[in-house]
Amino acid sequence: MTKNIMIVRIWVIGLFFSIFANASSLFENFISIQVKLPYKQGNLISLFHRSGRIDKIEQGVSGVSIKGALPGRLIADYLPFSQKKMS
């Protein structure tokens, strides 16, 4: 019986540390940005959809204009395509 209790304790401790390690990503700082991304930058368009918050998106002939917010850790990748000053 004590072996089962130890296994449960180890599992609970592992679950706690897993939740704690992922909690920092829940509280990331988002930075507003407006970008015009050419379609050939599909990886950045996709990343914005997955990791950011999109307030407005417009499809154009040569690319996509997106206004929204991204986690601070991703901003550097989007600066070359920035349309307005960040806030």
Instruction: Say what the pTM is.
Output: 0.67
Closest CA to 65 of 47, 39, 40, 31: 39
Position 74 confidence tier, pLDDT thresholds 50, 70, 90: very high
The pLDDT assigned to 23 comes to 54
| Helical ranges in 27-74 per DSSP H | 42-51
pLDDT tens, residue by residue, 26-67: 567 999 999 999 999 999 999 999 999 999 999 999 999 999
Domains present along the chain, CATH in parentheses: 2-81 (3.30.70)
SS3 17: helix
CA gap 64, 61 in Å, rounded: 8
Tokens of 87: 């806030």
Contact indicator for 48, 40 with CB cutoff of 8 Å: no
